[in-house]
Amino acid sequence: MLSGIPRRHSPDYLLAMKNKSTPNSAPVTPSGRVKHVSTAGGTVTMAAMAIMIVTSILSLRGLPSEAKYGVQSIFYYLFAAAVFLLPFSLVCAELASTYTKAGGLYRWVAEAFGPRWGWTAMYLEWQTVVIWFPTVLMFAAVSLAYIFWPESFDQALASNKLYTLIIAMLVYWLATLNAFRGQRKANLLSTYGGLLGTIIPGAILILLGIIYFCMGKPLSLAHVSFFPDFSNVGTIVLAASIFLFYAGMEIQAVHINDMRRPARDFPRAVFLSILIIVALYALGTIVIGLVIPSKDINLLQSLLVAYKALWGSFGLGWLGNIMALFIMFGVIGQVSALVTGPSTGLMAVAQSGYLPRSLQKTNKNGANVPILLIEGVFVSLLCLLLIVLPTVESAYQIMSQMATIIYLVMVIMIYGAFMRLRRTQPLKKRGFRVPGGKVGEYIVCSLGILGALLALVLSYLPPAQITTGSPVVYVGIIVVGVGVIIALPLIVYALRRPSWRNPNAHFYPFDWEIEGRRPSQVSQWPADYQPTEQEIDEAETRVINSR
């Protein structure tokens, strides 16, 4: 998912995070500090957690990129699940069940390395979503094009840069204006969009493929080996994007404390969800390969072409145009959910004093207008890459690769935080622990980090299956873009001012701030130690004076 990223900020999660990060949404102590209100566990079952994970990760948009590999795509799905989705799920579960105050991954990384790197990790997640926007907006334009007749007109329109740019900008800014009306309006659109634009079309795609195969229709699936040719690096670059298909586990892991028996049920939920996700992705990918030859697969258009071909084989080709309408609605719902997601995540950073006060303002509907506008400028500039790159497909690919790299850098930071916190806070109570003790920690982290590094390196290379123009320009855009994105949060942190701290916004201090130590020092707190109200107030005073 990026492909998975469309659901990385589900409506329920966004609303919960908004309530957590809004100063007036929680009771406060007489001194004005927000109280931490714990909730009883047991409200999320193992099956419910599995469903939450599936719905936050699964998406149809990226299937054509893997359909180019035929049955080899199944190998890549299994490989990425083993070296990325499973280990990252377990690490996020331990961090989320241990550091339960507001902030999510910002708190995880800052507890280990300090606010500079916590803010950087949060910013990279935000930028991952921002970079993802142009890819899904391009897909929205293609989906809209396939509502019309005949198919030759659809293909020509979908490949037109000016058309794609206009529709992408229009969809994004309409979703942004809708977000100004508040989270409830955005949630309504995204909920129906997810159901009608992803879940139902996905089930129809797989069902049509099964019927198509059973009826003995002509098959286009290439006869290739299950295992890829690793000697030809250019042919496996597209497979690195599968890691982003599985993005979003750090979001659902925050709900682990709502489970009755997290140590037992969360791993089961993870394994069940992985089986479902891999099966659905693999089946959907194979169905596209059944009806479209590998050489003819287009990253943006082939999902829509597959629907038309499947329905057309039963004499109902016009239903392919109806499916395009549903998918277009689903994309609008995804954009609606994610437009407000990044600004919500950055509020925790803003409230702890690392963004200017001007970026902490919300309108009467609770929407953070300044950050939404900055986000819109970023997205608009990225969409303009359509003018520079040779084709719409190449622009789509370069955005996907940049998003993959940025996300994987953030993932490696989370692994680093996990390993350091195991050493600096060894006695801290953890609601869930990665199984296997030290051996389990080494296996999980080694698999996860090596897998992420491999995918990260591959993401810098031009794919052999797509015309991307000059390799120097392609790689240059990615290198410069990633460099600028990683440098920006460090520059902002270096330029921070004491005036950025809002005295009316109370962000719960980090453990090392309360304890009066540096993040790199080992905690002296015994297991189950709970700081007193006075200790927290004193820590908050020190923090305010030091930032």
| pLDDT (tens digit per residue) in 75-89 | 888 888 888 888 998
Instruction: Report the C-alpha gap between 234 and 463 in whole angstroms.
Output: 5
The pLDDT score that the predictor gives to residue 39 is 39
The pLDDT score that the predictor gives to residue 120 is 94
Torsion of CA 491, 496, 500, 503, to 10 degrees: 130
The pLDDT score that the predictor gives to residue 10 is 40
In the numeric block, which tokens belong to residue 389? Answer: 């790159």
Residue with tokens 């719960």: 508
Nearest to 485 by CA among 410, 391, 425: 410
| pLDDT (tens digit per residue) in 273-298 | 888 888 888 888 899 988 888 778 87
| pLDDT (tens digit per residue) in 391-434 | 776 777 788 888 889 999 999 999 999 999 999 999 888 888 89
**CB-based contacts of 431-436 (< 8 A; 24+ apart in sequence):** 431/97, 431/98, 431/100, 431/256, 431/257, 431/262, 431/263, 432/93, 432/94, 432/97, 432/256, 432/262, 432/263, 432/266, 433/94, 433/263, 434/90, 434/91, 434/93, 434/94, 435/90, 435/267
CB environment 56-75: b (16+ within 10 A), e (fewer): bbbbbbbbbbbbbbbbbbbb
Cross-strand pairs, 28: 34
CATH code for the domain of 71: 1.20.1740.10
Q: Are 373 and 363 in contact (CB under 8 A)?
A: no
Nearest to 420 by CA among 511, 535, 348, 490: 511
In the numeric block, which tokens belong to residue 185? Answer: 């309006």
Among 145-149, 253-257, 390-394, the minimum mean pLDDT is found in: 253-257
For the chain, what percent of residues have pLDDT higher than 70? 81
Number of neighbouring beta carbons within 10 Å of residue 133:
28
pLDDT at 32 over 50: no
The pLDDT score that the predictor gives to residue 415 is 96
In the numeric block, which tokens belong to residue 407? Answer: 């996300």
pLDDT at 528 over 50: yes
Instruction: Report the C-alpha gap between 203 and 460 in whole angstroms.
Output: 34
| Mean pLDDT, residues 335-359 taken together | 75
Cross-strand pairs, 34: 28
Residue with tokens 């579960």: 93
Nearest to 546 by CA among 417, 349, 356, 354: 354
Q: Are 469 and 389 in contact (CB under 8 A)?
A: yes
Among 109-113, 177-181, 210-214, 461-465, the minimum mean pLDDT is found in: 461-465
The pLDDT score that the predictor gives to residue 365 is 77
The pLDDT score that the predictor gives to residue 488 is 92
Give the single-character DSSP code of 82: I
Distance of CA 73 to CAs 66, 127, 241, 293, 460, Å?
6, 28, 11, 14, 20
| Mean pLDDT, residues 266-277 taken together | 82
pLDDT at 322 over 70: yes
The pLDDT score that the predictor gives to residue 147 is 81
| Mean pLDDT, residues 518-529 taken together | 86
Distance of CA 157 to CAs 470, 492, 510, 514, 530, Å?
25, 41, 53, 59, 62
Q: Which helix (H) or strand (E) holds 395?
A: helix 392-424
Distance of CA 344 to CAs 350, 351, 425, Å?
10, 11, 29
The pLDDT score that the predictor gives to residue 421 is 95
Give the single-character DSSP code of 195: I
pTM over 0.85: no
Instruction: Report the C-alpha gap between 310 and 205 in whole angstroms.
Output: 8
Q: What is the mean pLDDT of the chain?
A: 78
Instruction: Report the C-alpha gap between 156 and 178 in whole angstroms.
Output: 31
The pLDDT score that the predictor gives to residue 226 is 76
Q: Is the four-CA dihedral 260, 262, 265, 269 of positive or negative sign?
A: positive
Q: Are 405 and 453 in contact (CB under 8 A)?
A: no
The pLDDT score that the predictor gives to residue 133 is 82
| Residue 339 identity (one-letter amino acid) | V
The pLDDT score that the predictor gives to residue 28 is 35
Confidence at 194, pLDDT banded by 50, 70, 90 = low
Task: Supply φ then ψ for residue 259, to 5 degrees.
Answer: -90, 145
Instruction: Report the C-alpha gap between 457 and 455 in whole angstroms.
Output: 6
The pLDDT score that the predictor gives to residue 466 is 57
User: What angle is formed at CA 123 by the lines to CA 119 and CA 129, rounded to 5 degrees?
Assistant: 155
Where in the sequence is the domain holding 181, given as residue range(s)?
Answer: 5-546
In the numeric block, which tokens belong to residue 409? Answer: 């850098």
Confidence at 7, pLDDT banded by 50, 70, 90 = very low
Per the structure, how many domains does the chain have?
Answer: 1
| Mean pLDDT, residues 50-68 taken together | 76
In a 3-state reduction of DSSP, which class is residue 28? strand
The pLDDT score that the predictor gives to residue 274 is 83
